[in-house]
Amino acid sequence: MKILLATVFDYPHAGGLSTHVTTLKAGLEARGHEVDVLSFSDISPVSQNLLAKGPSFILNKLSKGSGIIWSHHVRQKMLYRLIEKHKSKGYDIINAQEVFATLAAVETGIPTVTTVHGYMTYEAISRGSVVEGSRQARYLLQKEVEAYTKTRKIVTVDQRIKHYVFEKAGVEATAIRNFIDINNFKPDKENRLAYRRKHGFAEDANIIFVPRRLTKKNGVIYPVLALPQVLEKYPNTMLVYAGMGEAFQELTSLIREKGLEQKTKLLGAIPHEAIKEYYALSDIVLVPSVHSAGVEEATSISALEAMGSGSPLIASAVGGLKEIVRHEHDGLLVEEKNVDQLAQAIIYLLDHPEIGQKLAKEARRKIEEEYSHLAAAKKYEEIYAAALRQ
């Protein structure tokens, strides 16, 4: 098959959607398919700024959410023209990665399958991009329903999103949980000290790694709130974040308020390939997600990568994290927003590194058996074939 993966966002970029596309592409190509990706990054920077980003910024100043609507609308049109331009390549199917990519794809007449990674409208509300109950929020939800009813098949990355699609649009989807390249993300602890020297970390430090976009639903403030308790027993602990987002200022202010500037490091957005080294050099990985404006974590790629990379994982017991982590067997689950529980879980693993190693070993086994990109690509291939039969 000749398959086009399409998104109205930048590709590649730091984030789960981009990682998903990269990993799915690798899996499909390993199964013998020809795969291309078209994204907003394929549009000239001048057009991006002049037609989408610039007007969006101004409109958001005038009316919250209006710029977001404008940007999505323009990105949809741009992606449509981009696909039309490449139509001669003879794509059998388009796998759109979000609502406005779907609306662009179906307009081209090429059979379209949609992957739904989250709750677009409610995530926009959670980020503060639109106001709950506003005209803009209603418009986004309307576009979600339109996309879900026009596409041939829908894949969701967990069961909750599958239920959400049916509730909003009355359309049955297929849930295929997120996955990772198990050959790319694998234990590399033998290079732990070398990576620490390379990235400027003390060899004897306890490094707690938070590979999360800095957004409210990812609960990124809670590791900082838990850190003082950890430091009381383990003063050589270092909290390291990889990611950017709208919660950056809140996080940096909290770090200053708590006097933790010397005990935290914000790496910003780092290349996906480089993040493997941080998994290897870390003692514990945190995925402290929370419910926010009706949004909850799907099958977290960060959690899967940590589990595949030989680092013990502590995650909040919300959303898809409850599906992928078996408490005290292949990771630890804590109550969301519970600072004391999070701190005590970190201390427990620092007290008992042998238990952390056991959890990490079981986690790797689960990843190999259940979350392989090759197995997921086969499932997507079957969805594409079913869509082409319609």
Q: Report d(CA 329, CA 322) in Å as an integer.
A: 13
Q: Which residue from 98, 61, 90 is spatially nearest to 1, judged by alpha carbons?
A: 90
HSE-up of 37 (CA within 13 Å, CB side)? 22
- Both tokens of 73, joined, read 């609308």
Specify the pLDDT at position 387.
98
Residue 252: its pLDDT value, please? 96
> Which among 328, 313, 317 is positioned nearest to 290, based on CA atoms?
317
pLDDT tens sequence across 187-234: 999 999 999 999 999 999 999 999 998 988 899 999 999 999 999 999
Structure tokens at 32: 């013998």
| pLDDT score for 295 | 67
Q: Cβ of 368: how many Cβ atoms within 10 Å? A: 12
Sign of CA dihedral 175, 377, 36, 16: positive
Q: With beta carbons less than 8 A apart as the criterion, state whether 376 and 24 touch.
A: yes
Q: Match 């006097």 to its residue by tokens.
A: 259
Number of H helices, E strands in the chain: 17, 12
Q: How far apart are the first and last CA of the chain?
A: 16
Q: How far apart are CA 147 and CA 381, in angstroms?
A: 21
> Quick one: how far is CA 182 from the chain centroid?
17
| CA 284 centroid distance within chain | 19
Query: What pLDDT is stored for residue 293 in this prediction?
Result: 63
Polymer length in residues for the chain: 390
DSSP assignment string, 14-58: SSHHHHHHHHHHHHHHHTT-EEEEE-GGGS-HHHIIIIIIHHHHH
- Which residues does the chain have with pLDDT short of 70? 14, 293-298
Angle of CA points 10, 116, 15, to nearest 5°: 35
Q: What is the pLDDT of residue 274?
A: 87
Please give the Cα distance from 289 to 335 (Å, whole number): 10
d(CA 286, CA 105): 37
Nearest alpha carbon to residue 87 among 111, 116, 51: 111
Domains of the chain (ranges, CATH numbers): 2-179+372-389 (3.40.50.2000), 189-370 (3.40.50.2000)
Q: Side-chain half-sphere of 167: how many Cα atoms within 13 Å?
A: 8
- Give CA–CA dist 104/78, Å, rounded: 8
Q: Which of 78, 93, 73 is nearest to 41 (CA)?
A: 78
Encode burial over 339-361: b for 16+ CB neighbours within 10 A, e otherwise.
Answer: bebbbbbbbebbeeeeebeebbe
**For the segment 168-200, what is each residue's pLDDT rounded down to a tens digit?**
999 999 999 889 998 888 999 999 999 999 999
Q: Full-prediction pTM beyond 0.85?
A: no
CA distance 197 to 205: 12
Report which DSSP code applies to 108: T
Is residue 241 a contact partner of residue 210, using CB atoms and an 8 Å limit? yes
